[in-house]
Amino acid sequence: MQKIHWSEQYSVGVQSLDEQHKNFIDMVNGLMDDVQAEAELAVVADTLSRMKQHANEHFFMEERLMKLFQYPGIENHRIEHQLFIKKIVDSSIGETFYCGIEPRELMRYLHDWWHNHILYEDMKYKPYMAGKPVPHFVATVFREDGSPQND
Ligand SMILES: [Fe+2]
Ligand SMILES: [Fe+2]
């Protein structure tokens, strides 16, 4: 399993979303190092917890943009996001430890999920959004637990 290297082929044409995707790729690559080095469980769990929080924010922003720019595949895309969060939650106990899943198996899931999701699922909305300005209100306020405020 190789690290993911962000390149233009991963670009969805919206700079703020690309920056967030790079951040997730960095987290996945860092986790690969940690799991490889058999790092403390707490180190891995901490990254996992951050990933969940950032993913909630990222998914919320993506879904708002998809709605705004009338991307027709929004419902299926939303389900993909929900399944990912469920997987992370199911892999955690009280946001502190992951359990029941072998670390390398979890690593592979995260690696493949981000790689495939950006490259194949997120890429589908690119024609609807690329080059369009992101309205200020989309960068919204989040609750302390990272979940988005409903408006
Ligand atoms: Fe995304
Ligand atoms: Fe997405």
Distance from the alpha carbon of residue 97 to the mean position of ligand 1, in angstroms: 25
User: Which residue shows structure tokens 């359990």?
Assistant: 99
How many domains are contained in the chain? 1
Answer yes or no: is 79 within a domain: yes
Residue 147 has pLDDT above 70, yes or no: no
Cα angle: 101, vertex 52, 68; to 5 degrees: 135
In a domain, residue 30? The reply is yes
Whole-number Å distance, alpha carbon 24 to ligand 1 midpoint, is: 9
Asked if the structure places residue 9 within a domain, the reply is: no
* d(CA 63, ligand 1 centre) in Å: 9
Express each pLDDT in 54-91 by its tens digit.
999 999 999 999 999 999 999 999 999 999 998 888 77
Instruction: Tell me, in angstroms, the distance from the centre of ligand 1 to residue 57's CA.
Output: 10
Note whether residue 136 is domain-resident.
no
- Residue 140 belongs to a domain: no
Confidence band for 47, pLDDT divided at 50, 70 and 90:
confident
User: What is the C-alpha separation between 28 and 14, in angstroms, rounded?
Assistant: 21
Domain enclosing residue 34, as ranges: 14-130
Paired tokens of 52? 């969940």
CA angle, corner 32, sides to 93 and 2, nearest 5?
140
Q: How far is the CA of 91 from the centre of ligand 2 (A)?
A: 20
CATH number at residue 94: 1.20.120.50
pLDDT at 5 (0 to 100): 95
In a domain, 149, yes or no: no
Could you say which ligand is closest to the alpha carbon of residue 22?
Answer: 1
Ligand nearest to the CA of 77: 2
Token readout for 109 is: 């899931």
Report the alpha-carbon distance of residue 8 to residue 22 in Å, rounded. 11
Tell me if 141 is assigned to some domain.
no
Ligand number nearest to the C-alpha of 76: 2
Separation of alpha carbons 83 and 72, rounded Å: 19
| CA 23–ligand 2 middle distance (angstroms) | 14
Q: How far is the CA of 121 from the centre of ligand 1 (A)?
A: 8
